[in-house]
Structure formats: structure tokens, C-alpha cells
Structure 1
């Protein structure tokens, strides 16, 4: 295990809901995602961490999610993106084939942030190591609701997330009482229909 993944595990702890990654999936993303990420898949599988606050996922399962969010936006012209990870509340971490760790979507608010990675071209393996080492538990939480949600609703399975019902974009308060366990892919596609995806600006903070 390399140092970056060790740092990640120190922050998040052991995996849950681990799934073995088939060789066919590793071959599918060869040349599209960093070799180092594919090595992580082979060794650690796809799994949840931090008791389910963060998930390493199968990008193929999220292809429709990417299409739902990016079609018709300027982002779809920039790169071919793949979801490599997500949070318990539906934050999506997207990897660009040319731009690396360059896009994150906060789906419950229909907002995105872009990042110009220095790790492109032949530096992609360094980029995925930097990405893993930089992840933090608190930035994958939403309003410190993860622990209360897990206590009230139970732990997540690999295909589930905590979603607000009705959605925040439909006017629901962001309170524990409006959280439910929902199927992740279906809910993320639903959220993409509610409001145009727009960039964060300083007035949001």
C-alpha cells in the first residue's frame, strides 16, 4: 500500500461494503483513468469509508449520472469525465481524462467547482495520490448531519445515499427530519433535472 492511500485510511478508517473490481472494469478504464487508481481498485476494491461518508465507486454505474448533469453545459465540451468517488450526500468527484481531478459537483445544490490540476499528462498517477491524500471526513459531511443520519436511518449500502425529501432545490429545509436513505444513482439523476448546474461564487460562502 502506498503512502497516499495509507494517509487516506488514517483519516477515514477501514472499508465497508467492499466489492471486488472485475478485470474487465480495469481494462475498460485503462488509458482513461490513472494506472494508480486502477491499482487501488485491484487492491482495495470499490468500497465505502468513514463508515459510509465517502465512497470509491464504479464509474460505469455513474455514466448516466454524468450525462444527466453535464449534457448541455460548457463542461461537457472541456473533457470526458468519470465519477470516481462520491460522498454520502451526493457530492460527486469527477476525473477528467485530460484534466485529472478537476471537477466536483455538489448535487443537492446543483453547484460545481473546477480546479486546474497540475497533475496532467504523464503526472496523472501523482494526481490520484494527491487526491486521495487530500480528502477529509468533514468536507464530505453536510451540516454535520452524517452521524445523526446514520443513527436515525441506519448505515448506507454501496448503492445508497442520504437524500433530502423533498429536495433542497424544491424548498425543503436541510434538517435531519427531511433526510431519507435513497438509491444513489436514481436520486442523482433526479436532482439533475431540478435546476441548471451553475458554478459556486463567493456569495455562496
Structure 2
């Protein structure tokens, strides 16, 4: 294990819910995702970390999610994106074939954040390392609800997330009482259909 991934695990916690990655999946994304990420897949599988607060996922399972969030937006023509990671609450981390880890969507609020790397395209492995080193546990813990949700609802499986029911964009409250364990792909597609994707503004913080 390299130092960057060791630091990532030290920060988030040991893996849970590991899925072995078939060679066909690695080859499917060769040239589209960083070689280093494919190496991590081969060594560590697709897993959750920190008891499932953060997941490195199979992008193929989330192709429908990517399409539902990005079709008809400026991102659709800006780059070819793949979902490489998500949080327990539906923070979505997209990897652009040209721009790297340049897009994050907070699905519960239908808000997007973009990032521009100063590193050239030929340093995608370094960009991936920067992504892992800059990702923080607290930023993936919506309202500090992860531990209470895990205690109430149980540990997530790889295809599950904690979702507010009714969704916040339907006017539901963001309280523990309104969190449920839901199927991730289906819930994320539902959220994409509730409200138009908007960029974060400074007034949101």
C-alpha cells in the first residue's frame, strides 16, 4: 500500500463492505480514470471507509446517476464524467477524463461545486492523490448525523445510503427522525429529478 492511500485509511478508517473488482472493470476504465485509481481498485476493491461514511464505488453502477444529474447541464458537454466516490448522505464525487476530480454534487441540496487543478492532464495520478488527501471525514458527515444514523438504522451496505424522507427539496426536515436507509442509485436518481442543479454560492455557506 502506498503512503497516500495509507494516510487516507488512517484518516477515514478501515474498509467495510469490500467488493472484489473484476479485471474487465479495470480494463473498461483504463485510459478514462487514473492508472493509480485502477491499481487501488485491484488492491483494495470497491469499499466503504469509516464504517461507510465514504465509499469508493464502481462507476458502471452509477452511470444512470451521472446521466440523471448531468444531462442537459453545462457539464454534459464540458467533459466525460465518471462517479468514483460518494458519501453516506449522497455527496457525489465525479472524475472528468480531461479535468480530473473537478466536480462535486451535494445531492440533498442539488448544488454543484467545481474545482480546477493546476496540475497538467498527464499528472492524473497526482491529481487523484490530492483528491484523497484533501477529502475530509467531517465534510462527508451531513449535520454530524452519521453516528446517530448508524446507531439507529444500522451499517450501510455498498448499495445503500442514508436519505431524508421526504427529501429536503420537498420541504422535509433534515433531522435524524426523517433519515432512512435507502437504495443509493434509486434515491440519487430521484433527487436529481426534484430540483434543477445549481452552483453553490457564497450565501450557501
After TM superposition, the score normalised by the length of structure 1 is 0.99
> Where does residue 142 of structure 1 map in the other structure?
142
2:105 equivalent to 1:105: yes
Q: What does the per-residue CA deviation read over 1:63-87, in whole Å, with 9 as the maximum and x for residues that have no partner?
A: 0000000011111110000000000
> Where does residue 60 of structure 1 map in the other structure?
60
1:120 Cα deviation (Å)? 3.8
* Secondary structure in structure 2 of the residue aligned to 1:52: coil
> Where does residue 42 of structure 1 map in the other structure?
42
* Secondary structure in structure 2 of the residue aligned to 1:152: helix
- For the 8 Å contact 1:100–1:119, the answer to whether it is kept is no
1:174-193 matched pairs, under 5 angstroms: 174-193=174-193
Q: How many residues align?
A: 205
Q: What does the per-residue CA deviation read over 1:77-118, in whole Å, with 9 as the maximum and x for residues that have no partner?
A: 100000000000000000000000100000000000000012
Give the Cα–Cα distance (whole angstroms) in 1 for the partners of residues 191 and 119 of structure 2. 31
1:150-165 matched pairs, under 5 angstroms: 150-165=150-165
2:52 equivalent to 1:22: no
1:2 Cα deviation (Å)? 1.1
- Structure 2 unaligned spans of 5+: none
Q: What does the per-residue CA deviation read over 1:113-172, in whole Å, with 9 as the maximum and x for residues that have no partner?
A: 000012342100101111111121111100000000000000000000000000000000
Give the Cα–Cα distance (whole angstroms) in 2 for the partners of residues 22 and 14 of structure 1. 22
Mean CA deviation greater in 128-137 or 141-150: 128-137
> Where does residue 122 of structure 2 map in the other structure?
122
After TM superposition, the score normalised by the length of structure 2 is 0.99
- Which of structure 1's runs of 4+ aligned residues deviate more than 6 A? none
2:87 equivalent to 1:94: no
Q: What does the per-residue CA deviation read over 1:161-198, in whole Å, with 9 as the maximum and x for residues that have no partner?
A: 00000000000010000000000000000000000000
Aligned CA RMSD, in angstroms, stands at: 0.6
